[in-house]
Structure 1
Amino acid sequence: MTYRFIALFWIAVFYGIYFTKMFIQRRKGIVTNQIAKSKVHDKSYHIEMVMKYATIAVPVAEVISIVLGTSGLTIIWRVIGMHLAFLGNVVFLLAVVTMKDSWRAGVAREEKRGLIKNGIYKYSRNPAFLGFDLVYIGIMLMFYNPVLMVITVWAMVMLHLQILQEEKYLEGEFGDEYTEYKAQVSRYAGCGKVTFDKAVMYVYFVLGIWSVMYFFTCLAYGGGLKLSWVWLWILIAAFSFIRVFMQKRKIEGSPVIRLPKVLVWIYRAVFVAVLTFFIITETKIIGAMTAEPKENLDYIIVLGAGLRGTEPSNPFRVRIEKAAQYLKENEGTIVVASGGQGKHESISEAECARRKLTEVYGISEDRIILEEKSTDTEENLKYSLEIIGDPSKSVGIVTNGFHELRALSIANEVGYENVSSVPAVTLMPVGIHYTVREFFGMVEFYLKH
């Protein structure tokens, strides 16, 4: 229901902007809707007519898809869709505001207007069309189905053909002024011909925008500001926008600070080294996250992850589910439920796991051993090994996928000789945050060991 409300809200905002602008201009005596209004039924007229039908079909298909409420994509794609729809609304609003009374839907051949090159039009020749595309793609990702995809693609193709017709008209209307403008600003987004410096600037810009939107996504899905390290995304956004500003000044030939070349190369070397280390570490984290559990392990250890009273937190819940699944598929395996009782917890995490495994999943009490002293991952594994008694036994660690690499690394340090990964689900969309945050957890582990 939440996704339905959000999708309908973004559609309402988008068309609210569209029709509000049209109403304001109508009160001034301006006819905004010029789609297929030409008296000459040429190629441009027919393209506009088909585009008109396509852009009517899209919101109809979107609303039907939203009412049906199903989606063929995972939650992370829905979140990306929300981001794109929001961004599309912002871009479209900036476009119609910047155009002021010059904004028209369709080519107004009979009217004389100036060429708008300021504001968002310094970075996109067609920001209104870009706004349409972003909203279309966003809603499609939120409520994907083949019919909606086909109608969306059809509308986007027609919008592109309309852009080509408008460009021909503008070239004839403004001549060299428009030709020069085309050379400086890209059709959809960007500043003219792509160079290495521009590409770097675009990457930082996209990263900055996405980090801001993902920060608010983490607040919504991860429990607000209580989510540890959530401020990391604001830091990434701030760094990205600073780099955008610096790259822009560099491209314009007026860098903010002229540093000695040796410092520039030191910065580049450190940046590349840190980025390489990050990529290697994240590759290992994802590798442990996606590992296939070994069959018939002697033991599995379920690491605790916090309670709300007597109920498991979402990360702990999926660990218990994974343990139950493994135990049902491997009937000779014993489980060690590990985790003590925290300050605001009514029972120990181990006891919570025992209750869920027996009462919800029907696992026999005889297969469950409780470890109720530990307060962190290292203690989980240390005290569990004392219970198991034999470091050569085959042991699987059940934790959320993003946490597996660090848990396995700690297990090897504690003394396990035959330990492997039994990864539980990494909950999305906050799972991206956890996976990135885990890099710093691994850095801490490497520094301590």
Structure 2
Amino acid sequence: MIDAVLIGLAALCAGYFAVIVLYAGIGTSFAFIWLFFAALCLFLVYGKWYYRRNADRIPRWVPVSVVTTCVAGLTVFAAVCIMVFSGVAGSDPVGLDYVIVLGAQGKEHTVNGSLKLRLDKAIEYVEENPDTILVLSGGPMQGEEKSEAELMYDYLRYNGVRPDQMLMEKRSASTVENVAFSRLVIEQDRLARKRKREALFQPVGPGVEPLAPDKPLEIGVLTSNFHVFRARLTARKWGIENVSGIAAKSDPVLFVHLCVRECASIFKDRLVGNM
């Protein structure tokens, strides 16, 4: 029974790899993990068969260690997947002060794929929350001087978003840099707006109350649904405490693959201290 399940999983993993290659190309990031999963399942089938025939020569701790490692790995992986999926569900927060829209570089220097889905979600959000300011985050695209933030700005402007409702962060090349540099942009904009208000409403004469202190900022991070969990934790790590996630749709064919890749990114960022 276990052998049949493992062989079936190996076939599914190999088949999904073929789908990814045909759908998105052989260069799809992290695609070969599915061939690794397929090979692992077949190796476990072979290992089980080999152990049954050589049980008297193989120490008991070897199969126990293999099974323990596999169960522990599956448990941890399942727990991380649940956390990733937690970013998919839930309603959008209302009335945020700023929303950081994360870039998504693709093969072509155009608004398509994940980036288009994120920008369409941003358009939908500002239509419902006209006072929210979008922070478009993305550095220079490979081989071009124009930044991803500028490409995003042009797309949103063409689709009716007001120029005064958008800020650009044009240096970042990763999720960590997206968050860190966008925070600086927000702080600079906040300070400029505060100075402008103070200039317009300068208290005059004794007994005049000064301006009320600024309320705590409410900031959102808009990204693909599978990426929301990591983006929020990264934002908190880099000093944005009151942060909400806004989930854009992702490619339905690649969704499972993107979630698996995201799990690996979460492990990496946790190890290096990015989140």
TM-score (norm. length: structure 1)? 0.52
CA distance in 1, matches of 2:260, 2:107: 25
SS at match of 1:268: helix
Aligned ranges 1:101-112 → 2 under 5 Å: none
CA distance in 2, matches of 1:257, 1:284: 43
Q: Which residue of structure 2 aligns with residue 384 of structure 1?
A: 182
Q: CA deviation at 1:246?
A: 3.3
The C-alpha deviation readout for 1:114-163, integer Å capped at 9, x for no partner, is xxxxxxxxxxxxxxxxxxxxxxxxxxxxxxxxxxxxxxxxxxxxxxxxxx
Q: CA deviation at 1:309?
A: 5.4
Query: Is contact 2:100–2:134 with CA below 8 Å preserved after alignment?
Result: yes
CA distance in 2, matches of 1:265, 1:395: 48
Query: Is contact 1:309–1:344 with CA below 8 Å preserved after alignment?
Result: no
Out of 117, 129, 151, the position equivalent to 1:318 is: 117
Out of 242, 245, 251, the position equivalent to 2:46 is: 245
Q: Which residue of structure 1 aligns with residue 227 of structure 2?
A: 403
Aligned ranges 1:94-243 → 2 under 5 Å: 198=1, 200-222=2-24, 224-243=25-44
- Distance verdict in 2 for CA 1:363–1:271, change over 3 Å: same
Unaligned 5+ segments in structure 2 are 191-214
How large is the Cα RMSD of the aligned pairs?
A: 2.0
- Distance verdict in 2 for CA 1:387–1:343, change over 3 Å: same
Q: CA deviation at 1:437?
A: 1.1
Q: Which residue of structure 2 aligns with residue 352 of structure 1?
A: 151
Question: Counterpart of 1:441 in structure 2: which amino acid?
Answer: S
SS at match of 1:289: coil
Question: Counterpart of 1:397 in structure 2: which amino acid?
Answer: V
Q: CA deviation at 1:347?
A: 2.0
- Distance verdict in 2 for CA 1:213–1:255, change over 3 Å: farther
SS at match of 2:241: coil
CA distance in 1, matches of 2:236, 2:23: 33
SS at match of 1:243: helix
Question: Counterpart of 2:5 in structure 1: which amino acid?
Answer: V
Q: CA deviation at 1:336?
A: 0.3
Query: Is contact 1:310–1:346 with CA below 8 Å preserved after alignment?
Result: no
How many residues align? The count is 247
CA distance in 2, matches of 1:366, 1:259: 71
**Which structure has the bigger radius of gyration?**
1
- Distance verdict in 2 for CA 1:294–1:434, change over 3 Å: same
Q: CA deviation at 1:430?
A: 1.1
Question: Counterpart of 1:405 in structure 2: which amino acid?
Answer: F
In the alignment, does 2:222 pair up with 1:423? no
CA distance in 1, matches of 2:107, 2:166: 22
Unaligned 5+ segments in structure 1 are 1-197
CA distance in 2, matches of 1:404, 1:263: 39
Structure 1 segments, 4+ long, off by >4 Å, are 255-258, 307-310
Q: CA deviation at 1:312?
A: 2.0
- Distance verdict in 2 for CA 1:446–1:308, change over 3 Å: closer
In the alignment, does 2:166 pair up with 1:365? no
In the alignment, does 2:271 pair up with 1:447? yes
CA distance in 2, matches of 1:322, 1:232: 30
Q: CA deviation at 1:216?
A: 0.9
- Distance verdict in 2 for CA 1:383–1:392, change over 3 Å: farther
SS at match of 2:223: strand
Q: CA deviation at 1:358?
A: 1.3
CA distance in 1, matches of 2:141, 2:184: 21
Q: Which residue of structure 2 aligns with residue 329 of structure 1?
A: 128
CA distance in 1, matches of 2:150, 2:239: 25
Query: Is contact 1:292–1:421 with CA below 8 Å preserved after alignment?
Result: no
Query: Is contact 2:98–2:219 with CA below 8 Å preserved after alignment?
Result: yes
Out of 291, 295, 299, the position equivalent to 2:94 is: 295
SS at match of 1:423: strand
CA distance in 2, matches of 1:442, 1:259: 36
- Distance verdict in 2 for CA 1:406–1:256, change over 3 Å: farther
* Structure with a larger share of its residues in helix: 1
Query: Is contact 1:324–1:363 with CA below 8 Å preserved after alignment?
Result: yes
Percent of pairs with identical residues: 29
